[in-house]
A and B are shown apart, each in its own frame.
Chain A
Amino acid sequence: MADISSNFLGIKSPNPFWLASAPPTDKMVNVLRAYEAGWGGVVWKTLGSQVKNVSSRYSSVDYGRHRMMGFNNIELISDRPLDINLKEIREVVRLFPDRAMIVSLMADNYREAWHELIMKCEDAGAMGFELNFGCPHGMTERGMGASVGQDPEIAKMVVEWVMEKATIPVITKLTPNVHSVVPTGRACVEAGTNGLSLINTIQSITGVDLDTLVPNPFVAGKSVYGGYCGPAVKPIALKMLTTIAQDPLTSGVPVSGIGGISSWKDAVEFMLLGATTVQVCTAAMNHGVRIVEDMCEGLSNWMDEKGYTKTTDFIGKSVQTITHWEDLDINYHHIAKINQDKCIHCGLCYIACEDTSHQAIDIQRGHPYNDYSVKDEECVGCNLCKLVCPVDDCITMEVHRVGPEYVNWKEYQKLGLPLNDH
């Protein structure tokens, strides 16, 4: 059986699944439940500046009947007294010494505040820190959270303060509310951070209530931009993670991946694009901490199937497949093929292609069932029909190279090869 344990900067955990700094890691009772369920570690909800939270705090984007495809919160960092948090952290570490205990920090914006918080947390038994430079709501109005992460210079300064004091590994959590996470990532690495984590939540409005006309979540007739997360943000997180994995400087530190991870498959994708561990919040808030059971089993089974014995066998393996558009092979061509035995005659491929793409699907009207087939010469291989088809493997993409040799756009132009004539 595969070994799914993780070693992140020397912090060991029985699996790479950590609960992210968020409501599920705010209290000992939650964290103990998570550890009993099998989570490999937690990032304790952010400690630091004193706050008070409001009601309500969350809202979501549903799709069809699927709840919480996207999730949004306006909750601030831990609103409990620091002493209680530290006491509970100490107790949890005593009860579960084999799990990763990372503490998220967001001190007020001066060196001493950070130093004092670091000392207290190390004393309580923290195994590592995660610097919250990402929270995009509330704290930003005080010049904290994402306000720090959005400015590489400020981020660098704070990391330097932290590195002066910390004796345990420091992970800096990056905000996605920037055009690129790389500049801040680089600044933090230059300042000495031992690792990075990303992404934090994305500023958002999840929707407007069509009766009250007030956006969600509703707080006494008003709302505020919240932090967006959940499955909807996964593609954005994967992209940002990959940019960190590709940069020569930031790729030198380990990364903990975050953003819409709900299953072992999501986790594997993050790991393939460079994450050593992954952090989860929304999926646990949606279904409870029990989801970790399948995450562990699924990861282990997949690794066995693929012949990986430890996670480092595949971490980062897909990074090199992300290239520049201009380097893609223009001679690669594939076209759709509809398996008539599997087709259920729903017509979704036809109408999508006909109305919005390349009119490459032929229809034979019947009663009540129409038959559909691909016009090979019209198909550009866009995948749309395959994507809308409700039957797995009914539409497959078959490779029909235009030429045997690799030709990219730059060469294509140089060679003066023809553009599409339709």
Chain B
Amino acid sequence: MSVKSNRLSAEEYLQNFEDIHPPFDSYDAAAIEANRCLFCYDAPCMKSCPTSIDIPKFIRQITTENLKGSAHTILSSNIMGAGCSKVCPVEKLCEGACVYNFLGETPIHIARLQRFSTEKAMENQWKLFERKKSNGHKVAVVGAGPAGLSCAHSLSREGIDVTVFEKESSGGGLMTYGIAAYKVTPEFCEDEVNYITSIGGIDIQYNKALGRDFSVSDLSEKYDAVFIGIGVGMARHLEIPGEHLEGVVDAIKFIYDIRTQEFSATPVGDKVAVIGMGMTAIDAATQAKRLGAQEVTIIYRRTQDEMPCTEHELNIAKLDGCHIVWLAAPKEIKGENGIVTQLVCDKMALGVPDSSGRRSPKPTGETFTIHVDMVIKATGQMPYEALISQNSLGHKNGKVTIGNDLKTSMKGVFAGGDCVNGGKEVVDAVQAGKDGAEAILKYLANLS
């Protein structure tokens, strides 16, 4: 057993990481699906979208061959509508709410249709938004992820000059660095960022990290307003013995590596345990398998009823051959010569509901051990607590505190997305960026 890279042939990597949700091949294919849509009034799908995309309208626009209008409908609510069509957990959002579910029929493939229209827009570089003439206001955005880009785009449309500071060398944030490679490619992410910024008035300064290269107060001095959209950081610690052993890795780091280098360059074990059952845990488990791991076991302390990932995601993991162990929590990681060899788990039982409303797991006293050479931690991400404290931003357990007006504790500084909510979907971050822009516009209007 060992952790090593370069396990597969180039063809195998290509096959394992190809697009998991193939697009419609033609207008005809999209139109057949689009014509199934009932065009609901006050549509449940739309109400279930955090960015409130007018889904019946954009689908109807596909049926009338008004693809430009369709893309505009999507992107005017969600500027990352193309990316969201690939990564949104639609089973618990729009498609989960589709009224066809009541008839026992397959819901409308909203995500695929959204992808169809938005990809057309990107391919053809349709200029769907006109930036108002520059009004002299300057706003700084920290983080070129979904929240930051969405905020920047909304502001630029209104004639604000926006400078975005990004610590990585590419934009897109979690989209680019934190999601399974078979959902979005780095090229797509780059194209999407370029398409968003093609409106003009958005200057992205790459490799500029908050805390290292500048502080929030630096920005406050130079800009009329600041939006913080820095997301969250590495995976939560397990706080168990053996966590320091070689072979224990962070899911975020593991996915980051896959996304930033050749597939063959990311090492993976023969026998891998993944701790957690969120989207990131699934992404880590399936990609470990696809990188050539022999055995992948996902360990979750509750049951399927409480799991945070969708059933669709769970099925991807199952189809990839991942083992699932419910009601098990890591107790200790054992190793030899500083390298992981075993994971000891408590068998759990569900007790009374906790603060999240889910029944909380309690150890039964029984344990079991599995032999592993790699443990991937995916039990949620930690906010950048130190960074936020250093910058004198009010926070609660590292999550930036904001008021109803989206203002932080600092004057003229707004925040939104994962750094505020602790980690939600891309689509939630896009909405937070839109809301942030609206709050900033209101703030700027009162200044002048």
Q: A-side interface residues toward B, CB under 8 Å?
A: 64-65, 343-348, 350-351, 363, 365, 367-370, 390-391
Contact = CB atoms under 8 A, between A and B. Distances in A.
Contact of B41 (A65, A343, A348): A348
A368 B44 CA distance: 5
B103 A391 contact: yes
A65 B102 contact: no
B103 A344 contact: yes
Residue of B40, B42, B43 ringed by the most chain A CB atoms within 10 A: B42
27 contacts: A64-B35, A65-B31, A65-B32, A65-B35, A343-B102, A344-B99, A344-B100, A344-B102, A344-B103, A345-B40, A345-B102, A346-B40, A346-B41, A346-B43, A346-B99, A347-B40, A347-B41, A347-B42, A348-B40, A348-B41, A350-B41, A351-B42, A363-B42, A367-B47, A368-B44, A368-B48, A391-B103
A363 B41 CA distance: 11
With most chain B CB atoms within 10 A of its CB, the pick from A346, A348, A369, A390 is: A346
A368 B47 contact: yes
Contacts of B102: 343-345
Contacts of A390: 38
Contact of B38 (A348, A363, A369): A348
B214 interface: no
Given A64-B35, A65-B35, A344-B102, A351 B48 contact: no
B39 interface: yes
Contact of B63 (A64, A344, A350): A64
A65 B26 CA distance: 14
The 6 closest A-B pairs by CB, nearest first: A347-B41, A368-B44, A351-B41, A344-B102, A368-B47, A344-B99
B97 interface: yes
Contacts of A367: 47
Contacts of B35: 64-65
Contacts of A64: 35, 63
A35 B32 CA distance: 34
Interface in B52-103: 63, 97, 99-100, 102-103
Nearest to B39: A348
Contacts of A351: 41-42
A370 B48 CA distance: 13
B31 A369 contact: no
Contact of A347 (B31, B43, B97, B100): B43
Given A65-B32, A344-B102, A344-B103, A368 B97 contact: yes
Question: Which size class do B's interface residues fall under?
Answer: 10 to 19
Nearest to B48: A368
A229 B165 CA distance: 64
A347 B43 CA distance: 8
A148 B97 CA distance: 59
Contacts of A363: 42
B109 to A, nearest CB: 15
Nearest to A347: B41
Nearest to B47: A368
B148 to A, nearest CB: 28
For the complex, would chain B's binding face be called helix, strand, loop or mixed by DSSP majority? helix
Contacts of A348: 38-41
Contacts of A344: 99-100, 102-103
Nearest to A349: B41
Q: Which of A368, A370, A391 has the most CB of B within 10 A?
A: A368
A64 B99 CA distance: 20
Contacts of B41: 346-348, 350-351
A345 B99 contact: yes
B243 to A, nearest CB: 41
Contacts of B100: 344
Interface string B18-34: 00000000000001100
Nearest to A351: B41
Nearest to B105: A344
A347 B45 CA distance: 12
A370 B102 CA distance: 14
A348 B47 CA distance: 16
B331 to A, nearest CB: 41
Given A64-B63, A368-B97, A345 B44 contact: yes
Nearest to B65: A210
A369 B38 CA distance: 15
A294 to B, nearest CB: 23
A72 B255 CA distance: 59
A201 to B, nearest CB: 27
Contacts of B44: 345, 368-369
B378 to A, nearest CB: 29
Interface string B152-193: 000000000000000000000000000000000000000000
Interface in B96-135: 97, 99-100, 102-103
Nearest to A354: B41
Nearest to B46: A368
A368 B99 CA distance: 10
A362 to B, nearest CB: 14
Nearest to A63: B35
A206 to B, nearest CB: 17
Nearest to A342: B102
Contacts of A368: 44-45, 47-48, 97
Nearest to A363: B42
A53 to B, nearest CB: 30
Interface in B329-369: none
A114 B102 CA distance: 63
Contacts of A346: 38, 40-41, 43, 99
Contacts of B38: 346, 348, 390
Nearest to A350: B41
A42 to B, nearest CB: 34
A369 B103 CA distance: 15
Contacts of B39: 348
Interface centre among B32, B38, B100 (most CB of A within 10 A): B38
A370 B103 contact: no
Nearest to A64: B35
A354 B153 CA distance: 37
Nearest to B93: A368
A348 B44 CA distance: 12
A381 to B, nearest CB: 22
A65 B31 CA distance: 7
Contacts of B47: 367-368
A347 B41 CA distance: 5
A343 B38 CA distance: 14
B92 to A, nearest CB: 12
Contacts of B48: 368
Nearest to B94: A368
A373 B338 CA distance: 68
Given A344-B102, A368-B97, 20 more contacts: A64-B63, A65-B35, A343-B102, A344-B99, A344-B100, A345-B40, A345-B44, A345-B102, A346-B41, A346-B43, A347-B41, A347-B42, A348-B39, A348-B40, A350-B41, A368-B44, A368-B45, A369-B44, A369-B97, A391-B103
Nearest to B96: A368
Nearest to A352: B41
Contacts of A370: 42
Contacts of A391: 103
Contacts of B40: 345-348
A234 to B, nearest CB: 22
Contacts of B45: 368
Contacts of A343: 102
A343 B39 CA distance: 15
A95 B40 CA distance: 56
B269 to A, nearest CB: 43
Q: Which of A64, A344, A348, A369 is the most central at the interface, judged by chain B CB atoms within 10 Å of its CB?
A: A344
